[in-house]
Structure 1
Amino acid sequence: MRTLRRKRGPVKTAAPGSWVRRWAVGVSMALLVPIGTAVGGGVAPASAAFNPAAFDFWVDSPEMGPIKSRVLRAADGNTHRVVYVLDGQRAPETLNGWEIETDIPNALAAANINVVMPVGGMSSFYADWNAPSQFFGIPAGGPGGSGSGAADAFSGGPGKSYRYTWESFLTNHLRNALAQRLGFNPNRNGVFGLSMGGSAALTLAAYHPDQFSFAGAFSGYLNISAPGMREAIRIAMLDAGGYNVDSMAPPWGPQWLRMDPFVFAPNLVGNNTRLWIAAASGLPTDTDGPNIGTVNGMALEALALANTRAFEVRMATLGARNVHYSFPPFGIHSWRNWNDEALRMIPDMSNNIG
């Protein structure tokens, strides 16, 4: 789905009529299929892209082994302005979704920002997990699966043959390697992501304020302890590679609550981290065709919007003055929506890092 690499004029909104009815159906589906592919980073399969200006940057993780990131240098050659760009739940092991689906890495580099794109971490929430993903105490075995569907629940692969430790990797091993090998500033970095990656971006900023002075969450799940959300995430993780949410964090314990933006919101206020929080309405534009992918995307964005509005209220009760909210009147859970949101965000992020 490389629709974002062409120049586009202003996006037109769809005519009301039938789309209003589809939007109503979509909101209802959000309750029936709470996340599904919602944290998967899109409603359509990706077709791999490759940016020849970026390069592979390998760093060893004690628990996870060699991890690849893709790095794109700032246009002006500086090393003090750095952003980490996080993927969605279906993050593949080949390239980061932002490189696959959008031209945002080039836009960031043109804004004189160094781009770090971690690769992999399907269903990880970029967290340090409690244990390798397994079911009923049975370790995963055999080759990794397709990364799509609960049939992969007992297959091997990343996060199943070992314990995910993504937070430690991003805030320690990768951070230090970037500083030592490339001279990148380890402080006052930015981090943003979509869906799963949006929730994770806020988590990283909340607990590592020296590293991250800016965090952006697009269509994130920012109230994961709300009724039904854990089971929605359970279904989503089964669908995205056959992962077990209980291996990530036991239900309702300190580890789970630590991951919930609604719970750790006081950290973000106390740190005075600059935040960009976005979710669209779920109403499609005229570029979103009349198909099941669009209907699913409407439902998924409706759920993200509900979570984001709850987070907005929570931050308001804390007296937060460090947040910019973006609620576009049109947009579904799709890369086109996240591409446009990132373009809106870049100037604000540029002013709050380095």
Structure 2
Amino acid sequence: MSVLVALVFAITAVFAGTAAAAPGHSTPARAVPWGGYQELWVPSSMGNIKVQVQWASRGGTAALYLLDGLRARDDRNAWSFETNAMDQFRGDNLTLVMPVGGESSFYSDWYNPSNFNNQHITYKWETFLTRELPDFLAGFGVDRSISGIMGPSMGGTAAMTLAAHHRDQFRFAGSLSGYLNTSAPGMREAIRIAMLDAGGYNSDAMWGFPWDPAWLRNDPFVSAPQMQGMSLYVASGNGLPGHFDHPSAPIDYWNTAMGMGLEFLSMVQTRAYQIRMASLGIPVTFQFNGSGIHSWPYWSAELWKARPQILNALNAW
């Protein structure tokens, strides 16, 4: 148990965060040509939320939501600077939607603000991503019913959960090194410790005590039957360092070691999810790589592998 807790505690070492103030909200207006990049401030129950957007190259109506990891920053979504995601889809008829913020949120609707860190708002990320944001984007011609969602680590867990509960919105869902059985022995305690480290958040404020039904609702393993008929892409490495890993300083070796353990845990959970989906007869594209740790270069490369399936699912070539 101590090893499991230590591994998930270390999940926060991959990410870093800063804060940015939100300007006043303005009405929808596309300020750049099709295919261009724009930053939107979208009204929500949590206040105005920054969303980084790359518009479809030819005015298409499909969208891919790219979620962040556990230490999501308040100034930029990591997909926009840790990867070349925008370059990968620049010529495609697909709008990239990269919401900013949500540290330790699991992109879910919480019961209360976190009392441990004096949080002033109650996270309502599920409401934002499935109601407020798609309604706002509809003003730009983005069709809420032609959407995909994908993320790494925490974002992968959340992507699969949100897709399962909002089939009217999502046609594609993807998890990259996600934790897809959060009700497995030791995982709830490990998540609690990881959230404490990543911003001092209290998991009781998120889904209640460990026996609360919200924990099961937000477990992709439990909601797996609801994924029938959806285009799915699930990937993980095996924790062995690969061609993106070249540590030189002591901190590099530490981060590599932590990334190895985290990815091994993700691989174990992803294999369990593979068995679960096979037992349900639900087809999934699984990608188990011969090497790779828990870090952004591998997730960027995996997004490129998933790109044809994403474009096919959303008819966005």
Q: 1:239 aligns with which of 172, 197, 202?
A: 197
- Counterpart AA for 2:214: Q
Number of the residue aligned with 2:269: 307
CA displacement at 1:112 relative to structure 2: 2.3
Number of the residue aligned with 2:26: none
Q: What TM-score does the superposition give when structure 1 sets the normalisation length? A: 0.79
- Contact 1:29/1:299 (8 A) holds in 2: no
1:166 and 1:198 mapped to 2: Cα distance? 15
- Contact 2:15/2:70 (8 A) holds in 1: no
Is 1:162 the counterpart of 2:135? The answer is: no
Specify whether residues 252 and 335 from structure 1 end up closer, same or farther in structure 2 by C-alpha distance, changes over 3 A only.
same
Alignment of 1:6-45 (within 5 A): 31=4, 33-38=6-11, 40=12, 43=14, 45=16
Specify whether residues 292 and 268 from structure 1 end up closer, same or farther in structure 2 by C-alpha distance, changes over 3 A only.
same
Alignment of 1:119-138 (within 5 A): 119-135=100-116
- Counterpart AA for 2:212: G
Alignment of 1:96-107 (within 5 A): 96-107=77-88
Number of the residue aligned with 1:178: 137
Deviates more, 1:109-118 or 1:294-303: 109-118
Number of the residue aligned with 2:29: none
The CA RMSD over aligned residues, in Å, is 2.0
CA displacement at 1:252 relative to structure 2: 2.4
2:109 and 2:93 mapped to 1: Cα distance? 31
Number of the residue aligned with 2:148: 190
1:248 and 1:109 mapped to 2: Cα distance? 36
Q: 1:70 aligns with which of 52, 71, 81?
A: 52
Number of the residue aligned with 2:65: 84
1:312 and 1:101 mapped to 2: Cα distance? 28
- Counterpart AA for 1:65: G
Is 1:353 the counterpart of 2:314? The answer is: yes
Is 1:277 the counterpart of 2:227? The answer is: no
Number of the residue aligned with 1:316: 278
Q: 2:39 aligns with which of 56, 62, 71?
A: 56
Give 5+ residue unaligned stretches, structure 1.
1-27, 136-153
Number of the residue aligned with 1:16: none
Number of the residue aligned with 2:257: 295
Q: 1:265 aligns with which of 224, 227, 230?
A: 224
Alignment of 1:182-221 (within 5 A): 182-221=140-179
Q: What TM-score does the superposition give when structure 2 sets the normalisation length? A: 0.88
Specify whether residues 35 and 105 from structure 1 end up closer, same or farther in structure 2 by C-alpha distance, changes over 3 A only.
same
CA displacement at 1:60 relative to structure 2: 1.0
Give 5+ residue unaligned stretches, structure 2.
20-31, 248-252
- What SS does the corresponding residue of 2:50 show, helix, strand or coil? strand
